[in-house]
Structure 1
């Protein structure tokens, strides 16, 4: 009898040609090959397929971008993998980053394996984002 855990069984799939407008919450492992115009939050791993187009932030345990386009920040404490021809326009926060050739990344990246250093760097980055996004009114 085979036992599947969160690491190998995909709980949710958004296929090629499908689209979602709005935030998406996923319980477990997901593969996205369609378009999402909204934030993605998953309790497990997320695979962004080569035809996927994401306009929003992604938070998950780990994220693999096979070749799609992500316009938003990616937060994945375990790891982020950017495979060849992936495009990410946004900031990355992870403890482990793997990137192949021909990846386009435009943004800031925090990749620290030490948990305390990672948490401190993430906090500093979020504070800087909050400060820079505030407008001063006179």
Structure 2
């Protein structure tokens, strides 16, 4: 009836593993190696190795750490993503962000401060190029 995962099975961060459905409320911290989708309400921090998606009906009072975040609902809290944060037309973010890439679609709202990060491999390559030119 239930699938059992063996120690050798790997969780895919590209697949949505956790869904908080519309009409549902969750209180507590979520930590997941896969992606998370929120259509209901959550109060508590979210930590994901994959992506986090907050749908149009979703509402989160959370600090979020993830690979990427797509926000079409409401989020009150701070965000730290390794990649891209997208605030959709219906999205509202009240909080501070740290991201490598940040997109706000027309109609999306952002109230807070933002800090852009640099992709470490790209930054290291740029630094190496500068060192090569300096030594020439």
Same fold (TM over 0.5): yes
Displacement, 1:40? 0.7
TM-score by length of structure 1 reads: 0.75
TM-score by length of structure 2 reads: 0.76
Mapped to 1, the partners of 2:46 and 2:13 lie a distance apart of: 17
Number of equivalences: 112
Is 1:56 aligned to residue 49 of structure 2? no
RMSD: 1.9
Aligned to 1:129: none
Mapped to 2, the partners of 1:115 and 1:81 lie a distance apart of: 21
Which of the pair has more CA radius of gyration?
A: 2
Aligned to 1:37: 43
Query: Is the 8 Å Cα contact of residues 93 and 110 (structure 2) preserved in structure 1?
Result: yes
Aligned to 1:103: 108
Aligned to 2:13: 6
Mapped to 2, the partners of 1:40 and 1:5 lie a distance apart of: 17
Query: Is the 8 Å Cα contact of residues 27 and 43 (structure 1) preserved in structure 2?
Result: yes
Query: Is the 8 Å Cα contact of residues 36 and 54 (structure 1) preserved in structure 2?
Result: yes
